[in-house]
Chain A
Amino acid sequence: MDAHLWISGVVYGLSMGSIFFLLAAGLSLCFGLMRIISLDQLLYYSLGAYVAYQVNVSTGLTWPAMLCGALAAGALSWVVERWVFDRIYAREITFTMITSFGILVAGVGAIKYVWGLVPRPMGIPVEAQVALLGVNVPVYRIIVIGIAGAVYGAIQWLLNRTIVGTAIRAAVEDVDQVEGLGVDVYRLFTGTFVGAGVLSGLAGALHGPLVMVDPQMGLEVVPFVFMVVIIGGLGSLKGTLVSAFLVGQVVSLGSLVYAPLAQMAPFAAMLLILLWKPTGLYGSALLRR
């Protein structure tokens, strides 16, 4: 196999890993802070893609359309947080998982109702290609990778350099203590949840031009996102980044080796990693049952 194919395969895998990272980062943060598994993030992902598509079609704008998608996803996540999650934070993890799955299924049904079942193509903001080591690579994919990197940096900065981030990190360790210090933890929860929703919406909007926008897109990406979260370890941002790019590469390079294998190779990788480390690469042992 020639090197050109491999280089474009790596770039493809990196851009896919970036999308996975944006989606999984929110999930991972929500788990770390609130101890919830928020499957409805996949709904915000679909909504972000659909709103971006709709704005793109009606106005012709591309980047602002994506921003609209992310903001719409954030708005929906705020509503859901107020109405549903606010009441169930204290419940056990499986409870939040089932409830959020209900939200996801209902939301996908609503999306089908509004936009129909047909996949919609979405305009790509940058059509240019750039030569990288003698291989033509779409600039858009490189921008996506850059955005994911920037988001990772921003979250790390927020967590480690600001007072809000310090409160979040402390609350991950012990919520009661932080509440005792006079911090309104429910505001932290809301902020984190909406932040996760915006990231998921952004992931959907960025992913839209790379794939078709269709109602099942949220459900199709579920296994990959959870693979990322599980391999990285629930609640660890660094683990999420590492495993997102790992899964992206396995999917992309796996499809070069043997096409039907692409969907299954990450699963095999996950099994091996879980056999070796049952809480994922960077998962903390404290969270073990």
Chain B
Amino acid sequence: MSRRLRWWAGILIPFGVLAVARWVLPLPFLVEVLIFSVYTMACNFLLGRVGFISFGQPAYLAAGAYGTAFYLYYFGRDPLLGILAGLASGLLFSAVVGLVFVRLRSDYFALVNLALAVIVYHLMQKVLAPITKGDNGLWFLDRMTSTPVLDLTRPDGFVWFAWLVAVAVWALYKALDDTVFGACCLATKTNEDKVKFLGYHDFKIRWTAFVLANTTAALAGSLYGVYFGFVSPEMASAARAADPVVVTILGGTGTLYGPLVGALAYVGMKDLVSGVVGNWEFFVGLLLVVIMLAGERGIWGTLEPWLRRRWAWRRPAPALQE
């Protein structure tokens, strides 16, 4: 019992702090942090556990967002079903794409994903313009019906929904670390030949991990869609392709809380810097280079050992970083 409690405490304490912050921080900021942390969690899993680096995450984000948007604009009105539609479309999209992409070497993988993001962007902007309304995007904010218990159409209800989703995603990925599958993912990253030698199907593991992570990215996309009530091709823009990778590294690659810390720091910095100088890309790029040169441990990766020493946590830090 106490073990299970400690397991959940690891997730609920940071998110509890975030929930309390609801009464301190501005609402849009908190929603942005929550959704972005889910988006980054997917990238963190790919980069830290499976060793895939992808510059094409916006493609999967857009897959989820457009799944939601199509449902809410053309078919139904229920935002919960809309999010399910987004999840389904993300699952389908990444399952098909994964069949080809997972076979590629990691450097090819990153670049092919970037190309995919551009293709999705052009697909949504021009080729499918009759359905997607091109650059104008799809507006469905007033089409959504309010849902019982948590009203997703109101920011006040939505922030709690996003919070619940984020906690669920964290629990999923934390639980995954303790399973055989999680160990296999890490093993394919470290030594692929040994995984094959041990009798595991290398391709299957990578494909499942790829689909899982990109469906999570699609979930973040559909959350964005429902929150703004608006989806445009801008979501798949290659100019935003680096964001999840940057935030993952900023927070600390492969750490559990890295994406959350990274999203908090990144969104905060975006709000602060763009308020002062207006042009924050420069600082994001600079920060990325500095973190990489300083040893790529990121904010949480630097803080964690210090915190452990400080409070002498019982379990030693898992050695995820080489």
Contact = CB atoms under 8 A, between A and B. Distances in A.
Interface of A: 37, 84, 87-88, 93-95, 97-99, 101-110, 112-113, 216, 219-220, 222-223, 226-227, 229-230, 234, 260-261, 263-264, 267, 270-271, 274-275, 278-279, 288-289
A98 B282 contact: no
Contacts of B285: 101-109
A94 B282 CA distance: 21
Given A106-B285, A274-B100, A97 B238 contact: no
Given A101-B245, A223-B118, A270-B115, A84 B281 contact: no
B112 interface: yes
B105 interface: yes
Size class of the B contact interface (CB-based, 8 Å):
35 or more
A219 B241 CA distance: 10
B115 A226 contact: yes
A97 B110 contact: yes
Contact of A289 (B106, B117, B280, B289): B106
A102 B122 contact: no
B174 interface: no
A271 B100 contact: yes
B131 interface: no
B239 A219 contact: yes
Contacts, number: 131
A260 B126 contact: yes
A87 B110 CA distance: 23
11 contacts: A88-B293, A94-B107, A94-B110, A102-B285, A105-B284, A106-B281, A223-B114, A223-B119, A260-B126, A274-B100, A278-B108
Sorted nearest first, the 6 A-B pairs with minimum C-beta distance are A106-B285, A109-B282, A102-B288, A105-B285, A109-B281, A102-B289
Given A105-B285, A106-B281, A110-B282, 16 more contacts: A88-B292, A101-B245, A101-B288, A103-B285, A106-B284, A108-B281, A109-B280, A113-B279, A113-B282, A223-B114, A223-B115, A226-B114, A260-B127, A271-B100, A274-B100, A289-B192
B55 A263 contact: no
B242 interface: yes
Nearest to B106: A94
